[in-house]
Chain A
Amino acid sequence: MPKIGVYVCHCGSNIAGVVDVEAVRDFAEELPDVAVSRKTLFMCSDAGQEMIKQDIRDGIVDRVVVAACTPRTHEPIFRKALESAGLNKYLFEMANIRDQDSWVHANDKEGATEKAKKLLASAVGKSRGLEPLEDKYVEVTPNALVIGGGVAGIFSALELADMGYKTYVVEKEPSIGGVMAQLDKTFPTNDCSACILTPVMVEAGTHPNIELMTYSEVQEVDGFIGNFKVKVRKKQTYVDWNKCTGCGACAEACPAKVPDEFNAGLNNRGAAYIHFPQAVPKKAVVDMEHCINCAGREIGQEPKISKKTGKPRYAPCEKACPAEAINRSLEYDPKGEIVELDVGTIIVATGYQVMGKENFKEMAPDSPNVITALQLERLISATGPTDGKFLRPSDNEKPKTVTFVSCMGSRDVNFHTYCSRICCMYMIKQARLLKEKYPDLNINMHFIDVRCAGKDYDEYYVGARKMGINIFKGKVGGLETLPQDRLRVMAYDMESCTPIEYDSDLVVLATAVELPETAKKLGQTVGVQFCGANFFKEMHPKLGPVETSTGGVFLAGCCQGPKDIPDSVAQGKGAAASAAVPLAQGRVTIEPLISEVDQDKCSGCGICVPLCPYSAIKLREKDEKLRAAIDIAQCKGCGVCTSACPSGAITLHGYTEESIFNQIEALTS
């Protein structure tokens, strides 16, 4: 006969303000097998836990049911209390009478009290069928994978590598660096972005514990915390990176014209190209999608012989390469190479993209003088298409009036309802940089609100006002195109309640931060969830900012939500610390609340195998017969196999048949 101790919590007034706690306690006394029923103000306090421990030590109870807040946050505390008093921690059960009762039925005290009784009766019923269980453990592969080589990913990798763990960094572009590498300067200190990022990129590139896998994509993720098997596709570069010195001769020789992604499409690059001057690794690739096969040099074929000279004809990139790294006669596999990695933890740091101007029809997107803020970064960067000269795209003339428009696609029910968080600050930065260099430039900025929450940020904004930058409250309604590619701005000054209309030479749109399509696909591959704003979802918005609902998978940077460089770095380092925990422990604990197959009862029918959503069940040969076997590390304890097994051979520990029937009886009586 079990001796069940019931403990009802007031949770201050959270529960007791709605539920008649004394009535619930009284009710529990009459339930079968209940040895003692108590109540207190806060069960989670030391005094509350001591009450449980004392009853266990006194031999009054051998099973514990707490009716309180929620197991989500408090189950671990009470389990520990049982353990420290010498009782198996899985002989604990919780009735959720706060989150699922008093909080949702605050206007129906009687109903809430009756519901609390039912929930408690159900928990007591379940506890009668509980059995003692032991934790299980699996070994951990002490390697980590970081997906995405932007600033968040780089710092995650450096932290892990410095802790001594072998870390792979997979980046889809030819170089690491991410969006930060595209920026000219950074707020609020006006540090040159490349100057502060390049040394860190080099450190990541040369760290003995870091293996950079650029121009690569994660294709498949199998396994579980501690033991992930990851397939990475190294895309075909068509350049021998062992020989390439990054001199850029091939890029100069290549006659193909492809919009340069690094310069946000403001100019063209060749099909043979180096990502950007400070690239790490600084290696060339041939983008075969845009290659025009000069001289008929199809990949994998011998060169044609010139009728004039009798000599073989080579493509300009081959001829230009002084290191002989390009040989188009070789039979390259266009799919590249698949590399398999064994890692214990994964950090997803895939970053973001900004919306294109074409989304905003009212903002004259066809005008060359309407650009996104990222394009302006490239336009004023020394490594940009104009070598840092501030010229408007239509005629390469220096603009006299520049307009900044905030909240394009952010805070907008037609696109994204969220605030992109970084735009106010980077627009102010861009305006300040321009005003410093060209004091005569007329700069008009139009905001809904100016949002400058951050260390030294508001001072930076006030400084912009002092510099003579015109700041207006009121969203721009539209742009009209005028002759000579000039633009008419239709704005409004909310403070004076007056419309504003003026001509501008260049209009900069602060377009919204969003998750790129490629990252969405990757999220599904890795198994992370999405939040309402379509970024990757962290485990808890406050207390689990780097974890995900998948054990061993962590988040860093803008893939989790828009954030600036300091926050991205902080989250990158935070994710590294969390991702290192299982690696440092060397083994991970598996809660035994998972399914187990009774090998004697199993008929080997295999019905459970395709039903398992976690691919945890495989048929294995035992005594020359096939029997289902469950991988303890992959089973999540969902119970699908248990309910489907026609032989009743599968038990879901912690949810025995007796427990379930007791619960049904309690809830339906």
Chain B
Amino acid sequence: MGLEIDGKKINEAVKTIVDYGGDGILNCVQCGACSAVCPGVRAGMPVLCRLLIRRILNGQLEETIEEMSTWACQSCNRCTEICPQGVRPQEVVFAFRRYQANDLAISTSAFGPLMSFYETGHAVTVKDAAEKREQVGLDGNPPTSLNDEEAQKELQALLDASPMGELGIF
């Protein structure tokens, strides 16, 4: 089956992404500079930046919902720095993730950081840094939720009550 060009479907896809924060998407001229600098694309996750935007502009939201590439975005923001048209591709990727997350289409690759977030309040933990922090006279744990049981409990309550609670990973 070839790509079916359906104006209504395209408008809906664009609106969904714009509403989720990817509001520069219509500026895109598909130059590909974002994908040239994207570490995710380089690591073999092709549906990021340029190709993700193309899919959305084709109206292929549902067809792409299970895509794992988007979860490989490292938020480095190089795409937004290089973009000559002010698209801010990283925002588009995040908007698409929000669309995915609302349907619980979350990559298993994201479960580890999510579980860590649930348990400690940090998606990426700092345990390897504890020793170095102590060497320079800081607490091993940063003064965030890691040190605050009350805050951790509040976060967990929020996550349990959110749609992500249904994932069954916490």
Give residues in A with beta carbon < 8 Å to B: 362, 407, 411-414, 448, 473-478, 490-492, 494, 497-501
Cβ-defined partner of B32 (8 Å) among A362, A411, A412, A492:
A492
Give residues in B with beta carbon < 8 Å to A: 27, 29-38, 41-42, 46, 50-51, 78, 81-82, 84-86
Query: In the bound complex, what is the Cα–Cα distance between A501 and B36 (angstroms)?
Result: 9
In the complex, what residues of A have CB within 8 A of residue B86's CB? Answer: 413
B84 touches A412 (CB 8 A): yes
B29 touches A492 (CB 8 A): no
Query: In the bound complex, what is the Cα–Cα distance between A494 and B46 (angstroms)?
Result: 11
Query: Contacts A474-B36, A475-B36: A407 and B46 contacting too (C-beta < 8 A)?
Result: no
Query: Contacts A497-B51, A499-B41, A501-B42: A477 and B34 contacting too (C-beta < 8 A)?
Result: yes
Query: In the bound complex, what is the Cα–Cα distance between A499 and B51 (angstroms)?
Result: 12
Q: Closest residue of chain A to B82, judged by CB? A: A477
Cβ-defined partner of A414 (8 Å) among B30, B32, B84:
B84
Q: Closest residue of chain B to A474, judged by CB? A: B32
Cβ-defined partner of A478 (8 Å) among B35, B36, B42, B46:
B36
Given contacts A362-B82, A477-B78, A492-B33, 19 further A-B contacts (CB under 8 A): A407-B31, A407-B84, A411-B84, A411-B85, A413-B86, A448-B30, A448-B32, A474-B31, A474-B35, A474-B36, A478-B36, A491-B36, A492-B32, A494-B32, A497-B35, A499-B35, A499-B41, A499-B42, A501-B42
A476 touches B33 (CB 8 A): yes
In the complex, what residues of B have CB within 8 A of residue A478's CB? Answer: 36-37, 82
In the complex, what residues of A have CB within 8 A of residue B41's CB? Answer: 492, 499
In the complex, what residues of B have CB within 8 A of residue A501's CB? Answer: 42
Cβ-defined partner of B33 (8 Å) among A413, A477, A498, A500:
A477
In the complex, what residues of B have CB within 8 A of residue A500's CB? Answer: 36
B35 touches A448 (CB 8 A): no
Instruction: Name the prevailing secondary structure of the B interface residues.
Output: helix
Q: Closest residue of chain B to A491, judged by CB? A: B36
In the complex, what residues of A have CB within 8 A of residue B35's CB? Answer: 474, 477, 492, 494, 497, 499
Q: Closest residue of chain A to B83, judged by CB? A: A413
**What are 5 of the A-B contact pairs (CB < 8 Å)?**
A411-B84, A474-B33, A475-B32, A492-B35, A499-B42
Query: In the bound complex, what is the Cα–Cα distance between A472 and B26 (angstroms)?
Result: 24
Interface-central residue, B35, B85, B86, by most chain A CB under 10 Å: B35
Cβ-defined partner of A413 (8 Å) among B30, B78, B81, B85:
B85
Give the 8 A-B residue pairs with the shortest CB-CB distance, closest first.
A477-B36, A474-B32, A477-B37, A412-B84, A492-B36, A475-B33, A475-B31, A448-B31
In the complex, what residues of A have CB within 8 A of residue B50's CB? Answer: 474, 492, 494
- Report A171 CB to chain B, min CB distance, Å: 35
Cβ-defined partner of A475 (8 Å) among B38, B51, B84:
B84
Cβ-defined partner of A498 (8 Å) among B31, B34, B46, B78:
B46
In the complex, what residues of A have CB within 8 A of residue B37's CB? Answer: 477-478, 490
In the complex, what residues of A have CB within 8 A of residue B42's CB? Answer: 499, 501
Query: In the bound complex, what is the Cα–Cα distance between A473 and B36 (angstroms)?
Result: 11
Query: In the bound complex, what is the Cα–Cα distance between A225 and B82 (angstroms)?
Result: 48
Query: In the bound complex, what is the Cα–Cα distance between A413 and B82 (angstroms)?
Result: 11
In the complex, what residues of B have CB within 8 A of residue A491's CB? Answer: 36
- Report B128 CB to chain A, min CB distance, Å: 28
In the complex, what residues of B have CB within 8 A of residue A492's CB? Answer: 32-33, 35-36, 41, 50
Query: In the bound complex, what is the Cα–Cα distance between A75 and B51 (angstroms)?
Result: 53
Query: In the bound complex, what is the Cα–Cα distance between A354 and B110 (angstroms)?
Result: 47
Query: In the bound complex, what is the Cα–Cα distance between A497 and B35 (angstroms)?
Result: 9
Q: Closest residue of chain A to B47, judged by CB? A: A497
Q: Closest residue of chain B to A409, judged by CB? A: B84
In the complex, what residues of A have CB within 8 A of residue B51's CB? Answer: 497
Query: In the bound complex, what is the Cα–Cα distance between A476 and B37 (angstroms)?
Result: 8
In the complex, what residues of B have CB within 8 A of residue A490's CB? Answer: 36-37
- Report A551 CB to chain B, min CB distance, Å: 39
In the complex, what residues of B have CB within 8 A of residue A413's CB? Answer: 27, 84-86
- Report A119 CB to chain B, min CB distance, Å: 37
- Report B152 CB to chain A, min CB distance, Å: 40
In the complex, what residues of A have CB within 8 A of residue B34's CB? Answer: 477
Q: Closest residue of chain B to A361, judged by CB? A: B81
- Report B63 CB to chain A, min CB distance, Å: 15
In the complex, what residues of A have CB within 8 A of residue B33's CB? Answer: 474-477, 492
Query: In the bound complex, what is the Cα–Cα distance between A196 and B29 (angstroms)?
Result: 38
Q: Closest residue of chain B to A498, judged by CB? A: B46
Query: In the bound complex, what is the Cα–Cα distance between A494 and B33 (angstroms)?
Result: 10
Query: In the bound complex, what is the Cα–Cα distance between A501 and B37 (angstroms)?
Result: 10
Query: In the bound complex, what is the Cα–Cα distance between A494 and B30 (angstroms)?
Result: 9
In the complex, what residues of B have CB within 8 A of residue A494's CB? Answer: 30, 32, 35, 50
In the complex, what residues of A have CB within 8 A of residue B46's CB? Answer: 497-498
B84 touches A499 (CB 8 A): no
In the complex, what residues of B have CB within 8 A of residue A414's CB? Answer: 84
Query: In the bound complex, what is the Cα–Cα distance between A541 and B27 (angstroms)?
Result: 25
A473 touches B32 (CB 8 A): yes
Query: In the bound complex, what is the Cα–Cα distance between A428 and B82 (angstroms)?
Result: 25
Query: In the bound complex, what is the Cα–Cα distance between A499 and B39 (angstroms)?
Result: 10
In the complex, what residues of B have CB within 8 A of residue A499's CB? Answer: 35-36, 38, 41-42
Q: Closest residue of chain B to A495, judged by CB? A: B32
Query: In the bound complex, what is the Cα–Cα distance between A497 and B82 (angstroms)?
Result: 18
Q: Closest residue of chain A to B78, judged by CB? A: A477
Query: In the bound complex, what is the Cα–Cα distance between A413 and B81 (angstroms)?
Result: 12
- Report B135 CB to chain A, min CB distance, Å: 33
- Report B5 CB to chain A, min CB distance, Å: 19
In the complex, what residues of A have CB within 8 A of residue B38's CB? Answer: 499
- Report A542 CB to chain B, min CB distance, Å: 25
- Report A237 CB to chain B, min CB distance, Å: 43
Q: Closest residue of chain A to B87, judged by CB? A: A413
Query: In the bound complex, what is the Cα–Cα distance between A594 and B33 (angstroms)?
Result: 56
- Report A128 CB to chain B, min CB distance, Å: 52
Q: Closest residue of chain B to A501, judged by CB? A: B42
Q: Closest residue of chain A to B35, judged by CB? A: A492
In the complex, what residues of B have CB within 8 A of residue A474's CB? Answer: 31-33, 35-36, 50
Query: In the bound complex, what is the Cα–Cα distance between A412 and B87 (angstroms)?
Result: 11
In the complex, what residues of B have CB within 8 A of residue A362's CB? Answer: 81-82
Query: In the bound complex, what is the Cα–Cα distance between A643 and B85 (angstroms)?
Result: 48
